[in-house]
Amino acid sequence: MRLILLGLPGVGKGTQAKILATRQGLLHISTGDMFREAAAAGTELGKRAQEFMSAGALVPDEVTIGMLLERIAQPDAAKGLMLDGFPRTIPQAEALDAALAKQGDQIDRVLYIQVPEAELVARLTGRWSCSNCGAIYHMQSKPPKAAGVCDECGGALSQRADDQPATVNARLDTNRAWTEALAEFYGKQGKLEAIDGTGSPDDITARLEGALANVS
């Protein structure tokens, strides 16, 4: 199988991709891991990607596509793919389709994990950390015993700028545009499967695996 996991930040793509890849015997490729591996290996594309990342800039499509095509050409990709974080643009999706077609392959299914945005905001803005000892808390899953106070050392809890509501909402806005564009792209191909991303991680895994039951 060749699968893509799609969804906004906070839906749990990374966690579910690893679980599915392990259970289905697929190679899990995340864009971030791919960038780091290529940079560590010193490939030409890896060096170019590192230049952009070091400058805090987005890696251009041509570099990202080149790196992905290099990766899926390696022998361990023959067993099947679970793509997490790629594609992010329509040109990336088109390049992936063309590359797979040359091999006589295609993307079999795109699993689109969907969670109400109010819940995503709560998930993404719920993290706080102790300014003294660094202990991590989450207002939903691991709240402190006393509001704003670390259970471990009594230090004050603070929130990173990345976890604050304004930043989270801006991040969701940015990701929504390309996520919806890709959902439309693969929907027209008849490959998109919407998955309810609410509930426990086990519930979500079961729904994802159910959607793959008829994929050969």
pLDDT of residue 26: 94
pLDDT of residue 216: 62
The set of residues, in sequence order, having a beta carbon less than 8 Å from that of 142 and lying 6+ positions away, is 136
Which contacts (CB < 8 Å, 24+ apart) does range 194-199 have?
A: 194/112, 194/114, 195/111, 195/112, 195/113, 195/114, 196/114, 197/7, 197/11, 197/12, 197/113, 197/114, 197/115, 198/115, 198/116, 198/119
CATH number at residue 197: 3.40.50.300
**Residue 110 pairs with which residues in a beta bridge?**
4, 192
Contact yes or no for 12/203 (Cβ under 8 A): no
Residue 46 within any structural domain of the chain: no
Residue 55 within any structural domain of the chain: no
Residue 144 within any structural domain of the chain: yes
Residue 20 within any structural domain of the chain: yes
Residue 158 within any structural domain of the chain: yes
pLDDT, tens digit, 9 for 90 and up, residues 142-152: 999 999 999 99
pLDDT, tens digit, 9 for 90 and up, residues 55-88: 767 788 888 888 888 888 889 988 899 999 889 8
Residue 104 within any structural domain of the chain: yes
- In this prediction, residues 90-96 reach a mean pLDDT of 92
Q: How far is it, in rounded angstroms, from Cα 104 to Cα 93?
A: 16
Domain housing 152? 2-26+80-211
Residue 65 within any structural domain of the chain: no
pLDDT of residue 193: 95
User: Token pair of 1, please?
Assistant: 């199988």
Which has the closest alpha carbon to 126: 142, 138, 141? 138
Report the range of poorest mean pLDDT among 4-8, 66-70, 119-123: 66-70
Contact yes or no for 201/99 (Cβ under 8 A): no
Residue 72 within any structural domain of the chain: no
Q: How far is it, in rounded angstroms, from Cα 85 to Cα 31?
A: 5
Q: How far is it, in rounded angstroms, from Cα 131 to Cα 155?
A: 6
Give me the active site residues, please. Answer: 13, 88, 127, 160, 171
Q: How far is it, in rounded angstroms, from Cα 94 to Cα 106?
A: 11
* DSSP 8-class letter at 155: P
Total domain count for the chain? 1
